[in-house]
Structures are given as structure tokens and as C-alpha cells.
Structure 1
Amino acid sequence: MSETLRVPATTYLQGSPPWLLDWLEEEDQPLPRLWFADETPQTEQQVQGFEIDRCPVTVGEFAEFADSTGYRTDAERHGYGLVYTDTWVECPGASWRAPGGPGTRTDGYEDHPVVHVSFPDANAYAGWAGKRLPTEAEWELAARGTRFRIWPWGDQWDGSSANTAETYAGPLTSLEEWRKWWLAAVERSGPMPRTTPVGTFAGRGDSAFGCVDMAGNVYEWTATPSGLYAGATACDPSVRMALGRYRVMRGGSWMNFRYQVRCAERIHGDPSGWSSFAVGFRCAKDAQSE
């Protein structure tokens, strides 16, 4: 089982301050300001003490769970998982056992984060392990601490501290540049996730509380239903459609730009069985009484 780290009870301001959206708008990145608006306004959160896994759940750890319980993921039962080629597709046969689709395997990937896990899959593993999924407030606190940080290690981007698309393609400033990189990668080796072993960036990319891979590698499910910090916040229409229906995911992944792997960045996933080759999870639990 993964090492767990203790986060003490505290109060902090969750979300991004107004200047952060101004900064994003000025940066050389392709997404509109409205895309990030659901990170605002900052909201005071009182968080009880908890423990959180240092690393995302790995392929090897998930295999132990599946082998000991006979559990079949939603992707296995449905017969497909979401994979990006030149668009998102329901790839027949894609699952945590075959993350790029038929003919792909996880041999040699045992220490990589598991992917193609749905929200119910993540909860099933967490229950088996005697844990639970972290709330969104817990996840962000573990990632950045009580002081606002853009990334887990601080406010200056460091490409050697996280596994993102820029790890492979260099600095990216447009969706077209990203697309060119990804299509070339698919042509060379198929649509396999470009995950890295958990802890690859330990030391450089550690969070305020010592967690690793909280920026990039895989998106991570949280237990929190999608909602706005303030109901009147103007946001992207796709976010508005998710409210009250989806669950928040955090951390960004190996296929994202630096701006999408920030501590406060939010994305929303369908909890009814949806999974993809860029989504995993880590677990948490209530702190033990001392």
C-alpha cells in the first residue's frame, strides 16, 4: 500500500485569487479566461485533519485489488475506455489492463499510475484499502498548503518537476502545437498513455505536504460533486452543464499544458462509469486520533 502523509486540521482559502486569472489571460496559452473562472472566488475552507496517499494508486496496487476480489472495472464491463487519437473515441478493449487499446499491455508499468478507472472503480478500490477518495478541499490543501501556490512546488514553472505534454514536446503555446506533437506520438507508438512511474519527480515536484505527482501524470478523482464556489460566477458553458451531476477531478495529466496542472485547476468528470487513459486517483482517510 502507498505511504500516507498526515495533513493537520486548518482553515485556508481554496481557489485562485483574482490576479491569477489576469495572469493566465496575459500568458502565452490558448484557453480563454472563462475556462478558468470556476476556480474563483477564493472560499474559506475548514478542513479536519486527514491522511492522504503520497502517490497515486499504481497499476500494481490496483492489480492486487482486482486479483484478490475479482473486481472488473466499468471499462472492462462496458468493453471500451476513452482514448484520444485525433479526437476522443470510445476505444473497444481499452481498460486499465490495455490502456492504449487491444494489443497494449501493462507489463513494465506496474509502478505507473493506473488509468481507465471510473469514479465507482476508484471508490471500490478505496473501500477495499480501508480508505476513501479525498474531497476537493483536502486535495487542494495537500497540493499547495495553506499559502497559495500556482504549482505544488511554488509559483515558477519548472518543467523538470512534473510529467506534462511539455515534458515530451517542449513549451506549448497553442492547441495546434499540442495536436502536432500528439499525432506524431500516436503514429510512432500508438495512443498509449505517457505516464511515468509514480515519484519520478520526487524532490523537485513535491507538494507542500510531501505528496508527489499532484501536477501532471494523471488526473485524480475527488469525492466532491461539481459546483461553483459562488453561484453567480460566470463560467464556461461546459462547466455549467456539469454542475450537480459530475465530480471534480484535480491535478492535470501527462497530456496537458503547464497551465492545466496547477493546484487550483478544476475539471469535471462523469461519475456514472466514465473513464479515460489520462485519469487515475489517490486515496485519503480520516486522521487517526492521537
Structure 2
Amino acid sequence: MGSADHEPEEAPPHRVRVGAFAIEDVPVTTAAFAAFVRDTGYVTVAERPLDPADYPGAPAENLVPGSLVFTGTPGPVDLRHLSQWWAWVPGACWSRPLGPGSSTAGRERHPVVHVAVEDAEAYAAWAGRSLPTEAEWEAAARGGLPGLPYTWGPAPEAPGERLANYWHGDFPWRADPGYGSTSPVGAFPANAYGLHDMAGNVWELTADWYAPRHPDDAEHACCVPVDPRGPAPEDSLDPAQPQFPVPRRVVKGGSFLCADTYCRRYRPAARRPQAVDTGTSHVGFRCVVRLTLPLV
């Protein structure tokens, strides 16, 4: 796990062992999530009314459910200020991914987005599955190629290749044709384990709480840890955003917004924090089933 090339959040690189598990070969789609909603009547976090008691002093007209939607800029911008390409859109949710007036028609095979952690866990429980741990996810994404930077091997994508749905073009205002949004699952080549979209398309939620780096002693531990887990929820705050004291889960894999000029996070070692109470238009998930087999 991890990488020495992207300090501090991916460091240190270290060995782990994981118990046997099966993982879905694509992210959960909008069609699959729709089946869950039809069967259970589930209402996602992005669709639930807001409690004014949780937002003292906020105008009542602002307390409407919604989600964060990527909105491309009209031209080049200062990449240090991501608020320029994100907008809080009232009414945006998994079934209206761009906000009111949009729908999932034609997106049935796209990954479901605008799901918060409890939405993903509710789906997983309904399906008899779980969210993967960070270690499980990374082991699966590497496809039997430990230590290499990409799911497909040691080298970046070459000109003319289409290996993953990350940003091709000038971020965040001009994407090459076929990029700049989610794509149908399985549209890009699988890794050596037969798993699609382990790089790009959408970030994927995991079961682990976020810490700003791997344990400092992991690289030199006397014993290889088995099925390691992250910190406790109360210790999972993002040090880069102390003004938002919301616990955060690890998300993996990068998304269609990962640009080489901005963040090359479509790599197995890449990781970032995702607030548990928020969905966005570039975060989804896939599930695992843990198996009773010898350690691998």
C-alpha cells in the first residue's frame, strides 16, 4: 500500500495482507441503485429536508436539500481555488445528478453519484455486501502489480490510448471529446483482475476513516499487518479543513476530474478524505463480499 512519491497523504509505502474477498467488477450503477430505492423506499441524504436546529442563524430559504455539482469554468482559472468549479445545487441528488430538470435517463450504466456514506452502506446491506476497506480496495486496484504507479503498469497513458476516464484537456474548462463527465461503467479496459474503473470515472467510498497519512511505523513494522483499518471516527477529521469538523472516509481511485495538471490521483495509492454527510457528482462506490479462505 501507499507511495513514497506523493507525500504526505500516501506515505509511507508498506506491505499488508488482506483476507480473501470478492469485489464487484464495476462501480454500482444508477440502475442498480434505482432497484434498491424501488425495493426499499430509501431516501438519500441529499434528498432529506434539513433541520434548522443544525444550522442556527441560517435563512430558512437556504435550508433546502441538494448536493455538490461540478460546473466547468468559462476559461482558465487559479487551480488553488476549487470553489470555482463546484456549486451547491438545490435538488441535485442521485436521480437528478445535475439538479432539477435532469434525470438518469441515458445514464443507467453510469456510476451512481451524490451518495453519502450512509447511502452507500444502506445499499450494500440491502445487497448482502459491504464497502471495501482501503487495503482491500487498493489490493484489488493494483491487479497483482504491487508497487507500480498505475492499475495498468509502470507507465502513464500514452498518446492515443484510452485507459481510464480522467480529465483529458485543459482543466477545469475544456475537456477533450468523450471526457469531462462520468462514463458508462466498463467503457475502459479492465485491470489484470478483470476490474473496470479502478482508475478514474468516480472516486469510490471505502469503509475506513481518513487519516492524513498511513501509520508512521507501517514501513518498518516487524510483522506485516493483516486487514489493517484506519483511525477511529473521532480522529478522522481533515487537517486541511479544520473549519469543517465532519468525520471523513477514505475515497480511492480518482475521478473524471483528475487532471495531470491538477491532481494525478487516478492511481491505486491515491487517497483523499470525503465528508460523511455530503455527496458530490464525482463520488460513487462498489461493494465487496468477504470470503472464508486462507490469507493471500
SS of residue paired to 2:162: helix
Distance 2:187 2:292 in 1: 29
Amino acid of the residue matched to residue 154 of structure 2? D
**Residue 57 to residue 152, structure 1, CA distance change in 2 (3 Å):** same
SS of residue paired to 2:67: strand
Aligned positions of 1:195-214 closer than 5 A? 195-202=182-189, 206-214=190-198
In the alignment, structure 1 segments of 5+ residues that lack a partner are 1-13, 22-35, 170-176, 186-191
Contact map agreement 1:57 1:113 (CA 8 A) in 2: yes
| Match of residue 164 from structure 2 | 162
SS of residue paired to 1:260: coil
| Match of residue 267 from structure 2 | 262
| Match of residue 20 from structure 2 | 49
Alpha-carbon deviation of 1:289?
5.1
Distance 1:69 1:278 in 2: 25
TM-score by length of 1: 0.75
Distance 1:121 1:268 in 2: 17
Percent identity (aligned): 40
Distance 1:221 1:38 in 2: 17
Q: Moved runs in structure 1, 4+ residues, more than 4 A? A: 239-244
Contact map agreement 1:133 1:282 (CA 8 A) in 2: yes
Among 85, 88, 93, the residue aligned to 1:95:
93
Greater CA drift, 70-79 or 211-220: 70-79
Contact map agreement 2:246 2:275 (CA 8 A) in 1: no
Among 63, 69, 75, the residue aligned to 1:83:
69
| Match of residue 123 from structure 1 | 121
Contact map agreement 2:85 2:172 (CA 8 A) in 1: no
Amino acid of the residue matched to residue 121 of structure 1? D
Contact map agreement 1:239 1:268 (CA 8 A) in 2: no
Distance 2:193 2:246 in 1: 30
Alpha-carbon deviation of 1:62?
0.3
SS of residue paired to 1:39: coil
Alpha-carbon deviation of 1:126?
0.3
CA RMSD of aligned residues (A): 2.7
For the pair shown, which has the larger CA radius of gyration, 1 or 2? 2
Distance 1:240 1:224 in 2: 20
| Match of residue 110 from structure 2 | 112
Contact map agreement 1:115 1:278 (CA 8 A) in 2: yes
Contact map agreement 1:225 1:248 (CA 8 A) in 2: yes
Distance 1:224 1:207 in 2: 23
Distance 2:37 2:192 in 1: 32
Alpha-carbon deviation of 1:237?
4.5
Aligned positions of 1:56-75 closer than 5 A? 56-75=27-46
Contact map agreement 1:226 1:243 (CA 8 A) in 2: no
Alpha-carbon deviation of 1:232?
9.0
| Match of residue 229 from structure 2 | none
| Match of residue 151 from structure 2 | 152
TM-score by length of 2: 0.74
Aligned positions of 1:164-179 closer than 5 A? 164-166=166-168, 169=169, 177-179=170-172
Distance 2:14 2:216 in 1: 12
Structure whose residues are more often helix by fraction: 1
**Residue 150 to residue 243, structure 1, CA distance change in 2 (3 Å):** farther
Alpha-carbon deviation of 1:181?
1.7
In the alignment, structure 2 segments of 5+ residues that lack a partner are 50-64, 72-83, 219-237
